[in-house]
Amino acid sequence: MTVLDPSTETQGLPEVLIRVRPALERVLGSYDIPPEDAEDVLQDTYLTLLYKWEKVQCPEAWLIGTLRKKCIMYWRRKRKRICDAVDEALLDLITEPSRPLQENEDLCRDFERVLCRLPTRCRELLRLRYVLGLGPQEVAERMGYQPSSIRKITSRCLTVLTRELTTVGFLEPKE
Find the binding residues for other proteins in span 106-125 (CB under 8 A).
107, 109-111, 113-114
61 contributes a contact to other proteins by CB under 8 A: yes
Considering CB under 8 A, how many residues would be counted as binding other proteins?
71
Shortest distance, position 9 Cβ to other proteins, whole Å: 15
Judged by CB, which is closer to other proteins: 2, or 101? 101
Q: Name, in order, each residue with C-beta under 8 angstroms of 149's C-beta and a sequence gap of 6 or more.
A: 140
- The alpha carbon of 32 is separated from its chain's Cα centroid by a whole number of angstroms, namely 15
Among 15, 19, 23, 89, interactor with other proteins by CB under 8 A: 89
Interatomic CA distance for residues 91 and 133, integer angstroms = 8
**Amino acid found at 18:** I
Taking alpha carbons only, the member of 125, 123, 144 closest to residue 135 is 125
Judged by CB, which is closer to other proteins: 18, or 142? 18
Judged by CB, which is closer to other proteins: 17, or 134? 17
Burial class of 47 by CB neighbour count within 10 A (0 to 12, 13 to 18, 19+): exposed
Q: Please count the CA atoms within 13 angstroms of the CA of 173 that sit on its side-chain side.
A: 9
Interatomic CA distance for residues 162 and 158, integer angstroms = 6
**Segment 13 to 42, residues that bind other proteins, using CB under 8 A:** 13-14, 17, 21, 24-25, 27-35, 38-39, 42
**Amino acid found at 82:** I
Among 15, 23, 47, 104, interactor with other proteins by CB under 8 A: 47
Judged by CB, which is closer to other proteins: 119, or 170? 170
Among 1, 3, 50, 101, interactor with other proteins by CB under 8 A: 50
**Segment 66 to 85, residues that bind other proteins, using CB under 8 A:** 66, 69-76, 78-79, 81-82, 84-85
